[in-house]
Structure 1
Amino acid sequence: MSDDWRPTAAIATLEVRASMLRAAREYFTATRALEVDTPTLSTAAVTDVHLSSVAATTNGRRAFLHTSPEYAMKRLLAAGCGDIWQICKVYRDGESGRFHNPEFTLIEWYRLGVDHHALMSDVERLIGAMLPPSRSFDRSERLTYREAVQLHAGIDPFDDPIPVLIARLESQGIEVPGDIRGERDACLDLIMGILVGPQLGHDRLTFIYDYPASQAALAQIRGPVASRFEAYMDGLELCNGFHELGHAAEQRTRFERDLEERARRGLPPMPIDQRFLAALEHGLPDCSGVALGFDRLVMCATGAEHIDAVLAFPFDRA
């Protein structure tokens, strides 16, 4: 008889998960953030070419499981909720492997009246509160995107031409696919994912900030850089945060550019979240927000080598 009914995580690991979630709730209660609960299922979807929504059908209508609660949470911010946070399951099609499961847990939160630098400090305090004493760390390291890529890949991500980026990848035995050889950001993503990211956060939490403006997503832009950051521990990207863009027309333009790029790549079009744009039109308060991959943080807390080791039932056993 098959034993694949059993959880892939040890019971002791599930106890660690539970204690970390308790610590998160205590932290947000102490810092006066409101816990909220937003829909998992939506008729809108993410337009980002790097993300794939899981499609569903309900009441005869096409729908999607959310890749993040971001749009709904910003609608709450526009309605006047103040600082908010939530723990939720999110879904991304086609993501499976050592560090990915199609269904995973996010902790997402927003603080009013702070920039991305202040939010990095908030992230550091939360992670410090959630990790067991055996994984305590000294004050975090903070590097700009340019500093990190120069230090760990030996190239300038803003000034070096694409052939230099490709040559650097190929010097490490990395094959650059033909369809991205003319795309600067795609080459930079490979460099960050393969050469830089794995080198980060091995003795303390590391923040990378001021990404290229072309990689802003939903962040404000300051000249050549976006007010965006990521946090790394044990070479794993744990979170992605922004000083949030509140300009509805600019956000619509970005969504429309995404759809044009999806068409160019032969990807299916995705319905834009018009309610989210209406909330921005109404007025989003100045805020910063971040999404933390909880399962990956549990991996760091327990020393797990595969995400399945920190999940009760990954997709293959769901």
Structure 2
Amino acid sequence: MSSESAEHSANWQPSASIQALQKRAKLLQSIRQFFSDRDVLEVDTPALSQCGVSDLHLRNFATEFVGPGAPDGQTLYLQTSPEFHMKRLLAAGSGAIYQICKSFRNEEAGRIHNPEFTMLEWYRPGFSHHQLMDEMDDLLMSLLKCEKGERMSYQQAFRHYLNIDPLCATTDEIVQAGKAFAIEQLLSEERNRDSQLQILFALGVEPNIGQQRPCFIEYFPASQAALARVNPDDGRVAERFEVYFKGVELANGFHELSDAKEQRARFEHDNQLRAENNLPAMALDENLLGALSAGLPDCSGVALGLDRVFMLALDAPQITDILSFGVERA
């Protein structure tokens, strides 16, 4: 048998052991019980959508639908998260909801990345983002047998680990902060301030936080609000948080923006950034904007990468160790 044939003959095998998949199934069962105990409704929304995401740093997979109403073909996008559809359910009166689903991002595959992955996303009407952080803490302590998470603001993290204030630092100060990582040239060539800060955060903050217990970073700059509300007491920051544990980003949560006009403006700004980076503009999701106009209840929501959580729970070195079939064997 040739070496190529031998390689292909082994690829039918799962990426993960059957024992790991059994443990994964029990963790999924415990998550569903967690939300059942709290009267949060499980929902199921489409993986395909007529609109993709405009976020500069996300890439949709796209496919073509040919059928009734689309004889010449219609582009459909595999969703990077179920967020837009879930918000439409919230606006329709669903109450508290959660979903465990496949999401898709046309990005790298590696130790903690697979282009197809399992997302847990949930929304809590009437919750502030701090109340949602409390609930996230409860879930992580249950799944990972870890201590209650540490909390710090984005500003505090930059001051502590990089000795700069990300909310008011000059471009020169940001570039100078990159000296410790020999990336001054990279930072000086990057035109977008938020991208500069994200590079510094990845190199100077992430490796230092959440090593012994999860770490919640909150109050990201308003320019990085995504779909979160701007803080009413400090317009420089958004009511957004991320969760890190053992060097892995696990979750991204918001006190959700409900202003349709503001959301439309943010989508349009995203497309401006895409044009500056030679990326195609994305059509605005008018169904989401219509739901926001009709009235999204005051709520907070969070997206948690379950495969990464399962990696940590099973002490697995890489994400394929807890996937039935990673992309290289799909």
Q: TM-score per shorter chain, which class?
A: over 0.9
Tell whether 2:47 aligns with 1:47. no
Counterpart Cα distance in 1 of 2:246 and 2:187: 31
In the alignment, is the contact (CA less than 8 A) between 2:175 and 2:187 conserved in 1? no
The alignment covers a number of residue pairs equal to 314
Residue matched to 1:30 = 37
**C-alpha deviation, 1:129, in angstroms:** 2.0
Matched, 1:270 2:279: no
Contact 1:162 1:182 in 2 (8 A): no
Paired residue secondary structure (2:240): strand
Amino acid at match of 2:281: P
Q: How far apart are residue 180 of structure 1 and its match?
A: 4.7
Q: Which among 239, 248, 261 is matched to residue 236 of structure 1?
A: 248
Q: CA deviation at 1:173?
A: 2.5
Higher CA-based Rg: 2
Deviations 1:49-71 (A, max 9, x none): 11010011112211100001000
2:170 matched residue in structure 1? 161
- With the length of structure 1 as denominator, give the TM-score of the two structures: 0.95
Instruction: Look up the SS of the partner of 1:226 in the other structure.
Output: coil
Match of 1:186 in 2: 195
Gap runs ≥5 in structure 2: 1-5, 67-72
Name the stretch that deviates more: 305-314 or 100-109.
Answer: 305-314
Backbone CA RMSD of aligned residues: 1.3
Is contact 1:24–1:129 with CA below 8 Å preserved after alignment?
no
CA distance in 1, matches of 2:187, 2:254: 31
Contact 1:180–1:187 (CA<8 Å) still a contact in 2?
no
SS in 1 for 2:30: helix
**Contact kept? 1:43, 1:271, Cα under 8 Å:** no
The aligned residue for residue 204 of structure 1 is: 213
Shift of 1:311: 1.1
CA 263–24 in structure 1, closer or farther in 2 if over 3 Å, else same:
same
Matched AA of 1:56: T
Distance 2:164 2:20 in 1: 40
Q: 1:243-282 residue pairs with structure 2 within 5 A?
A: 243-282=255-294
Distance 1:271 1:179 in 2: 32
The 5 A counterparts of 1:99-118 are: 99-118=112-131
1:80 corresponds to: 93
Q: Which runs of 5+ in 1 are unaligned?
A: none
CA distance in 1, matches of 2:160, 2:316: 28
Contact 1:56/1:64, CA 8 A, preserved across alignment: yes
| C-alpha distance in structure 1 between counterparts of 2:225 and 2:189, whole Å | 19
Q: 1:14-40, CA deviations, whole angstroms, 9 ceiling, x for partnerless residues?
A: 122111111100000001100000000
What CA distance in whole angstroms lies between the structure 2 residues aligned with 1:176 and 1:308? 35
Question: Retained in 2: the 8 A contact 1:170–1:176?
Answer: no
Q: Is 2:326 aligned against 1:310?
A: no
